[in-house]
Amino acid sequence: MAACNKPEAPPASEAAEANADSRLAAIDDSLARMNYGKAARLAAEAQAQYPGDHRLHAAAARAQARLGDADASAAALQRAVAAGLPDVRALLADPAFDTVRDHQALAAYRPRRAAKAPAAPTSRIRAGDVEIIESADGDVIRAGDVVLDTRP
């Protein structure tokens, strides 16, 4: 038998990953061109076809955020997390989320603020028109009209 000169097709998993990559590239291209509606549509189609790819869900979250739809963005972000998104905070740092970051729908993904430690006692020293206030946040020195403030 003669050998067939047909090129071998890549395994199905590699072909699927390559197609997901091309879908992601198309979504990113639409976002870069500020065609957010098209990006959201492409992302929705890609999410349906590749539900286990967190990158596509993250791209959908970015597209929906650019459209100003915090609820849809949060839903896509939730799907991304469920699909294995490694770093939610890095994704939310993306400027695409600037308009929706403070929305209640994304509250679950905002970093929790650490409780403030009780403030260290403040010491005050006053002599004439000179006052020195020392605290854990920094020092303030007032001498007449001159003020030196070292607090952040």
Q: What is the 3-state secondary structure (H, E, C) of 105-152?
A: HHHHHCCCCCCCCCCCCCEEEEECCEEEEEECCEEEEEECCEEEECCC
**Whole-model pTM over 0.85:** no
Tens of pLDDT, residue by residue over 99-109, are 898 888 888 87
Is residue 5 one of the residues assigned to a domain?
no
pLDDT in tens, 66-92: 999 999 999 999 999 999 999 888 888
- The reply to whether 71 and 143 lie within a common domain is no
Shared domain check, 73 and 37: yes
Report the CATH number that the domain containing residue 61 is assigned in CATH: 1.25.40.10
79, part of any domain? yes
5 Cβ neighbours under 8 A, 6+ residues apart: none
Q: Higher model confidence: residue 121 or residue 69?
A: 69
The answer to whether residue 48 sits within a structural domain is yes
Q: Which domain holds residue 134?
A: 119-152
Is residue 46 assigned to a domain?
yes
Any idea how long the chain is? 152
| pLDDT recorded at residue 112 | 65
